[in-house]
């Protein structure tokens, strides 16, 4: 089944404890992206990747890192999480840049205490 998977689905952590949210897609997509969803703000793009080893900042990249060493994986790294990073995170992928149909993962609900 073609899908985008994220792990973990739920995470409660404490301020300053490094964490990684994994994202994987099995559709051989070139483009991948991370978003955070907050009430009243919709989705905001954190980082995106056009292909392996090619990443760039979205609208709200502060406090996040990403890497794209393999085509299928696009992990989101929070080196020192803070409470304002408590949010619902979505990973998405599409065939390539310019193809607008992004397939979204199921989401990761992160709480930073």
Partner 1 sequence: GQQLNQSPQSMFIQEGEDVSMNCTSSSIFNTWLWYKQDPGEGPVLLIALYKAGELTSNGRLTAQFGTTRKDSFLNISASIPSDVGIYFCAGQLGNFNKFYFGSGTKLNVKP
User: Interface with partner 1 by CB under 8 A: which residues?
Assistant: 4, 31, 33, 35, 40-45, 48, 50, 56, 58-60, 90, 92, 97-98, 100-102, 104-107
Cβ-contact 51, 29 below 8 angstroms: no
Q: How far is the CB of 22 from partner 1 (least distance, A)?
A: 15
Q: Which is nearer to partner 1, 39 or 69 (CB)?
A: 39
Q: How far is the CB of 107 from partner 1 (least distance, A)?
A: 6
Q: Which is nearer to partner 1, 19 or 43 (CB)?
A: 43
What residue has token string 């949210």? Answer: 21
Torsion sign, CA atoms 73, 79, 83, 85: negative
The secondary element (H helix, E strand) that includes residue 21 is: strand 19-25
Q: How far is the CB of 86 from partner 1 (least distance, A)?
A: 18
Q: Which is nearer to partner 1, 18 or 76 (CB)?
A: 76
CA distance 102 to 113: 31
Strand 87-94 with 103-104, pairing: antiparallel
Q: Which is nearer to partner 1, 3 or 18 (CB)?
A: 3
Query: Which two three-digit tokens encode residue 106?
Result: 């199921």
Q: How far is the CB of 28 from partner 1 (least distance, A)?
A: 18
């Amino acid at each position: 089944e073609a899908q985008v998977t994220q792990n973990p689905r739920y995470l409660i952590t404490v301020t300053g404890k490094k964490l990684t949210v994994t994202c994987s897609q099995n559709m051989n997509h070139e483009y991948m992206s991370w978003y955070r969803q907050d009430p009243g703000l919709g989705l905001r793009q954190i980082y995106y990747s056009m292909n392996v080893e090619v990443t760039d900042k979205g609208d709200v990249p502060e406090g996040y890192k990403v890497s794209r060493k393999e085509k299928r994986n696009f992990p989101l790294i929070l080196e020192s999480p803070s409470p304002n990073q408590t949010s619902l995170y979505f990973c998405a992928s599409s065939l390539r840049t310019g193809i607008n149909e992004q397939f979204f993962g199921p989401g990761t609900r992160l709480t930073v205490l």
